[in-house]
Amino acid sequence: YVYSRPALYRSYATLLTVAQTAIDQQSSDADIQHVAIQRQILTGQELLDETLMRLNHDEEQTNGITFDSSKLTTSELRRMLTVQAVPETNLVELAAIGYQAEILAPIINSWIDIYLQRRAEEVKQSTGLTLEALGEELTGLEDKILSKREELEDFRQINEITSLGRENLFENQSLARFRALNKSFNAPSEEAVKSKARLDAVNKATEVSQLLFMVKLKLCYNY
């Protein structure tokens, strides 16, 4: 450690990010491709611009410290930040390094907040589209069930089929057609049950947060 040089501080956060998967599928233990994409997003121009704007206008978030964009540009902010993937996990370690310890935690907090907001908006939009598609699918199946039910009832009345337990039913020439109609009725009914289950699963999934972060402050030295 060189005493003539000021101490260099490092504030860091560990972020768990999980890729979206189909409701009936499980996330992989470690999605390297997804983590790499999130690293690019975290250091992207648009996200850092928004982070800098948040720092400039949110004194409460920055403990009363006013950030002047003329003194801290996006390029300078990017040079202060690092994103490192934790091997064989969906974790990334975010760090802000600088000589002013008091500004590093606010930078990390704002950076993560902006990222989480964007992820939440992305998940909300994707979930909304999924819910809409499932709703339309369920409505279509319900209409099909109603149509098949009416067709089945009409056929039953026309052919005087009143009970599957009648001994002479197997000799009825209309039995084959009746069974086919009954099968075609059961198929959309089963699909409707599955669609309803998927719809309920999506609604439940929206209540579960998939992102976790912890912020700590650590002192390091400039050698």
Question: What are the domain boundaries of the chain?
Answer: 8-127+209-220, 129-205
**Three-state secondary-structure class, residue 167:** helix
Q: Which long-range contacts (CB under 8 A, 24 or more apart) does 55-64 make?
A: 55/106, 55/107, 55/110, 58/110, 61/106, 61/109, 61/110, 61/113, 62/103, 62/106, 62/110, 63/102, 63/106
Q: Match 């704002």 to its residue by tokens.
A: 110
Residue 174 CA to residue 152 CA, distance in Å, equals: 12
**Three-state secondary-structure class, residue 34:** helix
Residue 11 has pLDDT above 60, yes or no: yes
What integer pLDDT is reported at residue 78 of this predicted model? 92
CA 59 to chain CA centroid, Å, is 30
CB within 8 Å of 68: residues ≥ 6 apart: 56
**Three-state secondary-structure class, residue 9:** strand
What integer pLDDT is reported at residue 187 of this predicted model? 61
**pLDDT, tens digit, 9 for 90 and up, residues 161-198:** 555 444 444 445 555 555 565 566 566 556 666 666 66
Q: What percent of the chain has pLDDT over 90?
A: 15
Q: Which residue, 71, 97, 75, is CA-closest to 84?
A: 97
What integer pLDDT is reported at residue 31 of this predicted model? 74
For 2-76, strand residue ranges (E) read 8-16
Instruction: Return the CATH number of the domain spanning residue range 8-127+209-220.
Output: 3.30.70
Average pLDDT of the residues of the chain = 70
CA 67 to chain CA centroid, Å, is 32
Whole-Å CA distances, 116 to 109, 119, 140? 10, 5, 36
Report, in angstroms and rounded to the nearest whole number, the Rg of the chain calculated over CA atoms: 30
